[in-house]
Amino acid sequence: MKLDTKVTTFSIVITLSMIVVVVVVSFLSFRQFTITTEREHIRSIADIVGISLSESMLHNSAENRDDFLGHLASVEGMRTVRVIRSDSVAAQFGKDSKRVQIRDKIEAQVMQDGQAYYKLIDENDGLAFRGTLPYIATRAGHINCLQCHNVAEGTVLGVITITMSMSEMMRSAYMTSSVMVLAIVSFMLVMLWFFRRLVKPVIVTARDVQETVERAIQGDFHANIERRTDDEIGQVAADLNSLLKFIQNGLTTISQDVAQLLQQTPTHEHENLLNSTISRVAGLIEAAHFKQAIEEDETKPEIYRRLSSVLQERFAIHDFSIYEMVTGTSRMAPLVVDGEIDAPCRWCDPQILLHAESCRARRTGHIIDSINVPGICYAFQSDRDGADRVHVCIPIIQSGMVGSVLQLVSHRDDGERIHEFLPYLNVYLREAAPVIEAKRLMDTLRASNLTDAMTGLHNRRFLEEFAETLVASNQRRKSQLSVLMLDLDYFKMVNDTYGHDAGDLVLKALARTIQASVRAADLVIRYGGEEFLVIMQDSTGEATDKVAEKIRADVEKMKVQLPGEVLQKTISIGISEFPLDSDTFWQAVKYADVAMYHAKEAGRNRVVRFEAKMWKDEVKY
């Protein structure tokens, strides 16, 4: 129920209640007043009649008594006057032959107990009030009754019954009540008008506040509630206007700032400012949580997997590709395709993997949108499965260059939805770009720490980190590893004779020669100084011996051009097998080292395979 209706209903109820109360109270009051008045009236008449009868008896003038009673009966409002003698008076003076009347039950009762009786009665000709009063013999008073009556004091000498009409008095009461009710109604109407005038600003202001709040819920905070009074209600209107204006300005500023962060157009007039701002802030918060999560990830693949989950769960995109530029090349590699890690290229011509410039997003560094510009990229395979699809390719800038490309694929009728969430997705990508770049730099730094700077081979630290993985893989395949320890013969003489620069040239040439003599799956490690280590997977026995002999022969034939001279060197090689010679990898490396020293002791430039007695001799020594 509206406030206006409530106030009106309340006022009407109060007015009617007041009228009812006034009418009831007036009626009861006038009734009681009338009864009391009539009672006193009847009592006064009875006293007059009593005195008149006593005087008539004293003067022996019955005619005067009868005339008096006759005149009394003609008084206005008087209906009946009855005088009844008691039995004792009738016995002494005889019955009153002219006014002999039969006493009724009430008169008989009053005659017996001497108590006056009053009653309001309803007769055919209207309301009347009856009073039946006793005449009691007494010495006190104006007349001594015992002078004439031979009765004891206190004896009831007779009763008088008087009936008075109350019609006129009731009419007067009704008239008075009507006047009072009319006055009350007039007063209440005036009060109602005044009250309505007083509360009207409250009602109107409340209605304006309600409408303004409803608009605010819909995102419209443009309030202009009229201030109709200078009291608290007017102040409420003014304060609400100020509050909504403050909220409008604040939300507008926040929305513009967030839109700027999202690189999104500001909120349109028909949009819900509050909802759009909440949605945008929520998107930024989710992106911040995403950034915090990827910062704690250890590797780039973990970041790309998390980004893949965001695409599928947050944006409901299931067809997509994430490509990354291969460092130091012009190639691209697919990292995640439709949520699958290391899946093959599906939505583009595979040519882009070999020649990254074929990717328009990679080449231009701009967002490529075939939703707005169909056919913009020739490398996109839109009808790979017969369906008409569109794509949006977003370059991810790292260190000022395109480091990765995210490709979104969808049906054409889903294009509008992609445009709606694209600003939010760009936030995720902007947050991810520096983290991915940091991980890439860390990987590069880590790789440099695991690589010998001069020869480009893995270093001993790499072996220390990779050994556990290598052993685990070997155990899963239930295969064997051959460990070759290689040491250049008389390398110290090169440094002492020709200088360290010449020694570096020899080591570089040696590294190239060793790499050329082994398989791509084999590991070549510069173990320290002029020592090199070769780990051959799934190679044992004669096959390993052939590779080792080939390395020895190639090194023997290797020629290093020095200024004014050509240098040739030989190499000593020791071989052990894991887990044949030892069930501990590092012990197998030590065994290969022992075999290598036996090769040097045997005359150098040779290959020696480890035997158990070599270790015993080494221990004794």
Q: What is the mean pLDDT of residues 466-474?
A: 84
Query: Does 185 reside within a domain?
Result: no
Task: Please state, in angstroms and rounded to a whole number, the distance separating the CA atoms of residues 307 and 404.
Answer: 12
Query: Does 192 reside within a domain?
Result: no
The pLDDT of residue 287 is: 82
The pLDDT of residue 95 is: 67
pLDDT digits (tens, 9 = 90+) for 408-421: 999 888 888 998 88
Give the strands of the sheet with 607-609, arranged side by side: 458-459, 523-528, 531-537, 481-488, 571-578, 607-609
- Per-residue pLDDT at 571 exceeds 60: yes
Residue 577: give its domain's CATH number: 3.30.70.270
- pLDDT band (50, 70, 90) for residue 580: very high
Query: Does 208 reside within a domain?
Result: no
The pLDDT of residue 554 is: 95
Furthest-apart CA pair in the chain: how many Å? 192
Residue at which a domain ends, from 447, 472, 487: 447
The pLDDT of residue 186 is: 84
The pLDDT of residue 267 is: 56
Query: Does 516 reside within a domain?
Result: yes
* CB-based contacts of 509-517 (< 8 A; 24+ apart in sequence): 509/558, 509/560, 510/555, 510/558, 510/569, 510/571, 511/455, 511/456, 511/457, 513/551, 513/554, 513/555, 513/558, 514/486, 514/551, 514/555, 515/457, 516/554, 517/547, 517/550, 517/551, 517/554
Higher pLDDT, residue 325 or 477: 325
The pairing of beta strand 607-609 with beta strand 571-578 = parallel
Specify whether 54 is located in the same domain as 150. Answer: yes
Helix, strand, or coil (residue 356): helix
Task: Please state, in angstroms and rounded to a whole number, the distance separating the CA atoms of residues 180 and 192.
Answer: 18
Task: Please state, in angstroms and rounded to a whole number, the distance separating the CA atoms of residues 84 and 107.
Answer: 8
Helix, strand, or coil (residue 205): helix
Specify whether 274 is located in the same domain as 309. Answer: no
Q: What is the mean pLDDT of residues 456-463?
A: 88
Specify whether 150 is located in the same domain as 98. Answer: yes
Residue 135: give its domain's CATH number: 3.30.450.20
Q: What is the mean pLDDT of residues 329-333?
A: 86
Q: What is the mean pLDDT of residues 451-473?
A: 86
Helix, strand, or coil (residue 574): strand
Specify whether 439 is located in the same domain as 323. Answer: yes
313 among known catalytic residues: no
Higher pLDDT, residue 403 or 400: 403
The pLDDT of residue 269 is: 57
Look at 176-180, 500-504, 505-509 and tell me which has the smallest mean pLDDT: 176-180
Cis peptide before 434 (omega within 30 of 0): no
The pLDDT of residue 100 is: 47
Helix, strand, or coil (residue 124): coil
Task: Report the domain count for the chain.
Answer: 4
- Per-residue pLDDT at 395 exceeds 50: yes
Helix, strand, or coil (residue 128): strand
Specify whether 421 is located in the same domain as 485. Answer: no
Instruction: Give 458's strand partners.
Output: 451, 525
Of the ranges 114-128, 173-187, 360-374, the best mean pLDDT one? 360-374
The pLDDT of residue 617 is: 61
The pLDDT of residue 375 is: 87
Residues in the chain: 621
Q: Which domain holds residue 595?
A: 458-620
Specify whether 42 is located in the same domain as 102. Answer: yes
User: pTM for this structure?
Assistant: 0.51
Query: Does 133 reside within a domain?
Result: yes
Q: What percent of the chain has pLDDT over 90?
A: 23
Give the strands of the sheet with 78-85, arranged side by side: 78-85, 156-165, 126-136, 117-123
Specify whether 583 is located in the same domain as 604. Answer: yes
The phi and psi torsions of 137 (rounded to 5 degrees) equal -70, 130
- Output the six-digit token pair for 566: 């050509």
The pLDDT of residue 620 is: 45
Q: With contact defined as beta carbons under 8 Å apart, do 510 and 492 qualify?
A: no
pLDDT digits (tens, 9 = 90+) for 359-391: 999 999 999 999 989 889 888 986 666 677 899
Query: Does 205 reside within a domain?
Result: no
- pLDDT band (50, 70, 90) for residue 486: very high
Specify whether 443 is located in the same domain as 513. Answer: no
Residue 366: give its domain's CATH number: 3.30.450.40
pLDDT digits (tens, 9 = 90+) for 199-222: 777 778 878 888 888 877 777 777
Q: What is the mean pLDDT of residues 490-505?
A: 90
Task: Please state, in angstroms and rounded to a whole number, the distance separating the CA atoms of residues 224 and 116.
Answer: 79
Task: Please state, in angstroms and rounded to a whole number, the distance separating the CA atoms of residues 157 and 135.
Answer: 5
The sign of the torsion formed by the CA atoms of 548, 554, 556, 559 equals negative
* Residue reference for tokens 């695991």: 450
Q: What is the mean pLDDT of residues 563-579?
A: 92
Task: Please state, in angstroms and rounded to a whole number, the distance separating the CA atoms of residues 538 and 531.
Answer: 23
Specify whether 530 is located in the same domain as 429. Answer: no
Higher pLDDT, residue 530 or 252: 530
Query: Does 191 reside within a domain?
Result: no
Residue at which a domain ends, from 111, 142, 171: 171
pLDDT digits (tens, 9 = 90+) for 37-75: 878 888 888 877 777 777 666 666 555 666 666 666 667
Task: Please state, in angstroms and rounded to a whole number, the distance separating the CA atoms of residues 65 and 46.
Answer: 14
Specify whether 78 is located in the same domain as 30. Answer: yes
Query: Does 46 reside within a domain?
Result: yes
Burial (0-12, 13-18, 19+ Cβ within 10 Å), 42: buried
- CA angle, 488 as apex, 486 and 489 as ends, to 5°? 125
In DSSP notation, 419-457 reads: HHHHHHHHHHHHHHHHHHHHHHHHHHHHHHHTB-TTT-S
Residue at which a domain ends, from 287, 309, 339: 287
Of 324, 431, 437, 530, which residue is the catalytic one? 530
Specify whether 267 is located in the same domain as 327. Answer: no
Specify whether 20 is located in the same domain as 164. Answer: yes
- pLDDT band (50, 70, 90) for residue 295: confident
CA 357 to chain centre: 47
Task: Please state, in angstroms and rounded to a whole number, the distance separating the CA atoms of residues 299 and 283.
Answer: 25
